Amino acid sequence: MKRKTQAIILHAVLLVCSIATILPFLWMLSSSFKTNVEINALAQTFFPKNPTVQNYIDVVQKFNFLGYFRNSLVYALIVTVVSVYTSALTGFVLCKYQFRGRQAVFTMIMLTMLVPGVVTIIPRYSLMQGLGWLDSYKALLLPSLFTSFGIFMMRQASYAIPNEMLESARIDGANEFYIFHRIVLPQLHNSIISISIFQFLWAWDDYLWPYLVIRTEKKQMLSIGLNLFSGRFSTDYAGLFAATSIAIIPVVVFYIIFQKHFVEGVSSASIKG
């Protein structure tokens, strides 16, 4: 009886937390079909009184939404693919290869996780300015292609790969390139998917760094472009809600596709070694 009561309480708490998390998104989606007059009215209703898709039409026709959307999608995909690959390669090397200074290198990588990202903004900006890369995708992408968190997760996950498997491949004549791409990466697929979700979400939502280094409006990311709905004296909430509703689609789709492997990937990166 006691266990049943605890289960009921747990499910009730989870239900409340789920509603509190999902409700704002549902409100935003519903409001995207309202007019600004209805959104700003004192008497609010959850569902629109006179639903309209004009907000979505205006977003596409009067606003460079598709351009910003494309820029963010390309940026997020490049960051995700490259950073996951470099994390897998570095994590595997730090786990399975013996060389002088290996632990020191790993310690230095871990220490970077303790430094808030905003602390390194000025040094990174100064470096890009000195290289003459401001207002270019090189400045936008380069600092994002390596992630200490991803390296840590991949290193921990690599401990699950038996050394005997790697040695057998070497005895059969496989080179290190073949071993990494044909044996190691398939073994790390759950961790790869987990890190991919984290990296895609981070890159898609990234605001500060694109805001600082990209000057040309056509090159800008969607997270910056959404600010155009906020004027000096008023905000186009209807357009903002419509644009944001579209903006979350890639994130939702990305997670739905890979959610089955997410928990397994995080679990496989538990503390080892």
Q: Where are the domains of the chain?
A: 62-268
Question: What pLDDT was estimated at residue 231?
Answer: 66
Has residue 265 got a pLDDT over 70? no
Task: Assess contact for 184 and 161: CB atoms under 8 A.
Answer: yes
What letter does residue 180 receive in the DSSP assignment?
Answer: I
Q: Mean pLDDT for the chain? A: 88
Lowest-confidence pick of 100-114, 117-131, 230-244: 230-244
Q: What is the model's pTM?
A: 0.85
Superfamily for the 62-268 domain? MetI-like (1.10.3720.10)
Question: What pLDDT was estimated at residue 41?
Answer: 84
Question: What pLDDT was estimated at residue 254?
Answer: 80
Has residue 232 got a pLDDT over 60? no
Has residue 161 got a pLDDT over 60? yes
Question: Which residue from 146, 78, 87, 79 is spatially nearest to 117, judged by alpha carbons?
Answer: 146
Lowest-confidence pick of 105-109, 113-117, 151-155, 191-195: 113-117
Has residue 266 got a pLDDT over 90? no
**Percent residues over pLDDT 90 in the chain:** 53
CA distances from 11 to 4, 15, 17, 259, 262 (A): 11, 6, 10, 21, 22
Token output for 4:
């049943």
pLDDT, one tens digit per residue, over 18-69 is: 889 899 999 999 999 999 889 888 788 888 988 999 999 988 887 888 899 9
